[in-house]
Amino acid sequence: MLAFTFNFFIMKIWLDGKLVDPSEATVSVFDHGVLYGDGVFEGIRFYSGKVFRLEEHIVRLFDSMRYLNVNCPWSFEEVCQATKDTVAANGMEDGYIRLVVTRGKGDLGLNPRNCPKPSMFIIVQNIALYPAEMYENGLSLITSTFRRPNPDILCPQVKSLNYLNGISAKMEAVAQGAGEALMLNQRGNVAECTGDNIFIVRNGVVMTPPLTEGALGGITRHAVFDICAELGITCIEKVMNRFDVLSADECFLTGTAAEVIAATSLDGRKIGSGVAGPVTGRILARFRTLVRE
């Protein structure tokens, strides 16, 4: 079974404007983030003490808050600074940041107007999503029976606290001994995985589904576009289905926690050579230098 591996050595957590000890980092049981998943979050990485693409993450956070009409009491600049302050306070070189904004304390009703003030907290921890050898051997995927909902049901561009759709698919993957689950949209086209974007390589061309197919606009996804441009690799958006994945030369996933990792089988069938391919290797190698520049 594959899962997040955390080091629970935490010195300070940022909560509503203050750095506090973990024992003091509490939210109300009446918080709508707890009661209804009413809130948004960002997962962010930092390397050598520097936060990777911080402003891109915070732009996405504020876009999600605007969509949900969450009126953040902190400015863009204040949220960026709070994130950097939390990293500095924990004295870590490399790690993972979880930044969460909830609707705030209200009552047991759904009405968000009864939540007068949002709440925000920032956690910093070590993380290793997959073991090192997995980046050579690749992940096994299964196709989930759970579909990504249409944008009029749940907008995929909003990184909300509602992750039950992905969690349900992840449970399927775990039950079948796979590392991840491929998620299709309502038309049967590839959207993304439970928490990662998906890319394939065919004849040297890198392809990924357009965001209109139900994927989140991942920050690492954006970085791969930049890397491909730098390396002279053609990278395009293309509507695809399971046939495209199974007939690809290579496949890889991208995400803040996973970074860039090969996927080498789908539903028990080998993708490409069955190990991480050369294009995936070039992109991963460049990503690992990029994050420390």
Catalytic residues: 159
- Full DSSP string of 225-250: HHHHHHHT--EEE----HHHHHT-SE
3-state helix, strand, coil in the chain (%, to 5): 30, 30, 40
**Torsion angle defined by CA atoms of residues 10, 15, 18 and 22, in that order, rounded to the nearest 10 degrees:** -30
* Measured CA distances, 101 to 48, 70, 145, 149 (Å): 26, 9, 30, 23
Nearest alpha-carbon partner for 126 in 15, 14, 45, 57: 45
Amino acid identity, position 212: T
Check residue 91 and report its DSSP letter.
T
Nearby residues of 50 by Cβ (< 8 Å), 6 or more positions away: none
Nearest alpha-carbon partner for 70 in 33, 37, 102: 102
Nearest alpha-carbon partner for 12 in 84, 108, 113: 84
Nearest alpha-carbon partner for 220 in 82, 93, 56: 56
Which residues are paired to 19 by β-bridges? 14
Check residue 24 and report its DSSP letter.
G
